[in-house]
Amino acid sequence: MIDYIKLLNQEQHKVVTEADGPALVLAGAGSGKTRTLVFRVAYLIEKGVDPENILLVTFTNKAAKEMMDRVERLLGFKPEHLWGGTFHRVGNLILRKYAHKLGYNRNFSILDQDDSVSLIKAVMADLNLNVKGQNFPKANIVHKIISFSRNRYEDPKTVAEDVYGYPEFIAEQMDKIYNGYQERKLKANVMDFDDLLINWLKLLTDFSEVKERYSKQFKYILVDEYQDTNFIQAEIIRYLSSFNNNLLVVGDDSQSIYSFRAADVKNILDFPKKHKDTKIFRIERNYRSSPQILSLANSSIRNNVEQFDKVLFPDRPDNVLPTLIAARDVHNQANHIVKRIMELYREGKDYSTMAVLYRANYQSAEVQLTLSKYNIPYVVRGGMRYFEQAHVKDVLSYLKVLSNFSDEIAWKRILLMHEGIGEKKADTIWKTVSHYSSVAELIDSKIKLTGKASESWQKIASTFFSIEKINSSQKGFVSEVIEYVVEHGYENHMKNTFDNYRDRLEDLQQLMNFTALYDNLDQLLADVLLSETFDNKESTDKKAVVLSTIHQAKGLEWATVFIIGLKDGDFPHHKCMENPKEIEEERRLFYVAVTRAKDELNMLYPIRTFSYKFGEMHNSPSMFIKEIDDTKYSVKSNKYQDQAYDEEDTIYYD
């Protein structure tokens, strides 16, 4: 028998042994929620519950496998027929038995994202939509709109208008595409990932015998990360638990940060209202962070209104206070981080124990450049390096051609992003381009093209003709070039190509600010090249500094954490300032960032930033810093000499 009293703390033990009926477990960051769930499953099995009567639902295959493995190790045997896995996996298993009730055969195929996009493309062709027009989104964007709307339980037209910002004459086509997409899937006997949940819910709501079977079978249901559930997932769980009413959900409303994926924090906040006689348990002992870091985290999150009352308390001895560093600018911010990383490394700390976190990708650009200059290995978690992102490379291609008219790779990248120009026509155009040394000469040349290819080439030539006229000796020359390229076609290209085009547009706006600091185009391109080609063994070397958005960092931890860009307008984002609910999610995002740190937390913001349009701007620290009791952190002067300048760093405070 497992010694639960010895192996669990008091809070965890109470959940494991007393959580019958509807139960909400508020498990704070670093409190051992996975351990608690694993022990609860083991406890039920030791008490005689048949494993096939237990359902354990997680959000990732990795988490599911980890929990199942830990249950097996804890029990000393493999519990046969235990239902465990992601929502999609469990939904697939049930649909294999009952898909015929929905008009599908049981041997239906599952579409991956590429297959789904291809099918939507075919539907759009059938509808004779002007999909090649400059104003209509491509099939991959339409797929994102449809998927998001289904997970929000809203119609695609509304999502296209309200979330993606498309005009009504485009948005109203989304419902037509959606209906055609659904018909094609049914005819082809295929389902996409969203169908695995939506059709599962449909079985439970429309067919009482299905609901009765599984609600009776699953005597105990356990759900991990409940704060990340969407409407459909919450409804599925509600129906499944309707008979036995033994539903245990574990989560932390303070870490609900995925509304952009259709997650709804209301699911966890309203759980006691929707499930009568809910027991609420709190697991608040934190095993990860120092008392000082937890104190700051608690001080911040208590400013949220819509939340459960809870306070994390530490299981570790005192350590140093978190620090607030007001850097002179983004260059100085990056230099401080790199110098501190070098200090820690000399003290014997592995690079892998350090992380730089940020709200948006563009904030990491200067840090990436500086790490590369100092030959420090780093890995960008869950994404590409800033200067290797498609939209950034697209725009930089125009700069590369300006610097070197014979750059074939840059030319072909520009050509291939235009309508009507494929690989063969790009080769044909390049053969002509390679004989000239300026756009002016090209304008007078004759390239035999027809239709859309001819129109696209004229646009390209016209763009270069215009940007070549920009005075290269004036301050902000590079930024002006980027602005022209974005405003004269590329913004529209992004909108119709990328589902997150607004984020990418902001990246490019920040790129304008970044490049405005350069007087020399060749120096800029050289620095970018250094960042792109720096061999830091990104894919194989685990001993590397981690760079990550805060969203990608959730669930992880590091000994030393740097949170950058903590200035008003960036964090919280200026677009959230008028919406209290969005401000609260931004604060939760800050809370997640803070609670990734175990020993040392450094919070940084640039006092001065340069805006291409507005010039030099003076910044104040984020409202999330200002609202924290200033005894919770220390303000440190930056002792490091800034390598980007000849002068010594000077720190200013408001």
Contact 297, 591 (CB under 8 A): yes
pLDDT at 116 exceeding the cut of 80: yes
Contact 91, 197 (CB under 8 A): yes
Calculate the CA 446 to chain-centre distance.
Answer: 46
pLDDT category of residue 8 using cuts at 50, 70 and 90: very high
**Contacts with 229 (C-beta within 8 Å, 6 or more apart), sequence order:** 223, 237, 263, 264, 267, 268
| Residue-level pLDDT at 44 | 97
Catalytic residue among 224, 264, 394, 600: 224
Rg (CA), the chain: 27
- Using CB atoms within 10 Å of the CB of residue 176, give its burial: 0 to 12 exposed, 13 to 18 middle, 19+ buried: middle
Catalytic residue among 225, 264, 394, 642: 225
Catalytic residue among 138, 596, 598, 632: 596
C-alpha 547/C-alpha 361 separation (Å) is: 9
Cα-based distances in Å from 596 to 118, 447, 561, 601: 39, 57, 7, 9
C-alpha 479/C-alpha 487 separation (Å) is: 12
Identity of the residue numbered 468 = E
Calculate the CA 308 to chain-centre distance.
Answer: 25
Q: Does 224 participate in catalysis according to the annotation?
A: yes
pLDDT at 440 exceeding the cut of 90: no
Average pLDDT of the segment spanning 276-298? 96
| Residue-level pLDDT at 478 | 86
Average pLDDT of the segment spanning 516-545? 68
Catalytic residue among 34, 58, 229, 353: 34
pLDDT at 79 exceeding the cut of 90: yes
Give the predicted TM-score (pTM) of the model: 0.84
Contact 403, 526 (CB under 8 A): no
Q: Which of 345, 333, 343 is nearest to 370 (CA)?
A: 333
| Residue-level pLDDT at 134 | 53
Of 30-39, 280-289, 439-448, the range with the lowest mean pLDDT is 439-448
Sheet containing strand 323-327, edge to edge, reads 378-380, 545-549, 354-358, 558-563, 597-606, 323-327, 634-635
| Residue-level pLDDT at 577 | 85
| Residue-level pLDDT at 320 | 93
Contact 176, 160 (CB under 8 A): no
What tens digit of pLDDT does each residue of 176-231 get?
A: 999 999 999 999 999 999 999 999 999 999 999 999 999 999 999 999 999 999 99
Give the residue carrying structure tokens 């009926």. Answer: 21
**Who wins on pLDDT, 342 or 469?**
342
Catalytic residue among 11, 12, 33, 497: 33
Contact 447, 457 (CB under 8 A): yes
Kindly provide the residue ranges of all beta strands, DSSP E only, lying in 298-415, ordered along the sequence. 313-314, 323-327, 354-358, 378-380
Collect contacts of 45-49 with beta carbons under 8 A, ≥24 apart: 45/71, 45/75, 45/79, 45/82, 46/1, 46/2, 46/75, 49/219, 49/220
Q: Is the alpha carbon torsion for 453, 456, 462, 466 positive or negative? A: negative
**Contacts with 466 (C-beta within 8 Å, 6 or more apart), sequence order:** 484, 488
The token duo for 515 is 């490049």
C-alpha 403/C-alpha 410 separation (Å) is: 11
| Residue-level pLDDT at 535 | 46
What tens digit of pLDDT does each residue of 354-373 get?
A: 999 999 888 998 999 899 88
pLDDT at 401 exceeding the cut of 50: yes
Q: Does 255 participate in catalysis according to the annotation?
A: yes
Question: What mean pLDDT value characterizes the chain?
Answer: 88
| Residue-level pLDDT at 652 | 33
Average pLDDT of the segment spanning 149-168? 90
Average pLDDT of the segment spanning 635-648? 51
pLDDT at 63 exceeding the cut of 90: no
| Residue-level pLDDT at 643 | 45
Catalytic residue among 255, 463, 497, 549: 255
The token duo for 221 is 């249901």
DSSP 130-197: -TTSTTSPPHHHHHHHHHHHHHHT--HHHHHHHTT---HHHHHHHHHHHHHHHHHHHHHTEE-HHHHH
What tens digit of pLDDT does each residue of 580-605 get?
A: 999 999 999 999 999 999 999 999 99
| Residue-level pLDDT at 447 | 73
Tell me which H or E stretch contains 212: helix 208-217
C-alpha 457/C-alpha 463 separation (Å) is: 10
| Residue-level pLDDT at 539 | 40
Contact 87, 230 (CB under 8 A): no
Q: Does 225 participate in catalysis according to the annotation?
A: yes
- Output the CA torsion 429→488→132→392 (10° steps): 80
| Residue-level pLDDT at 612 | 67
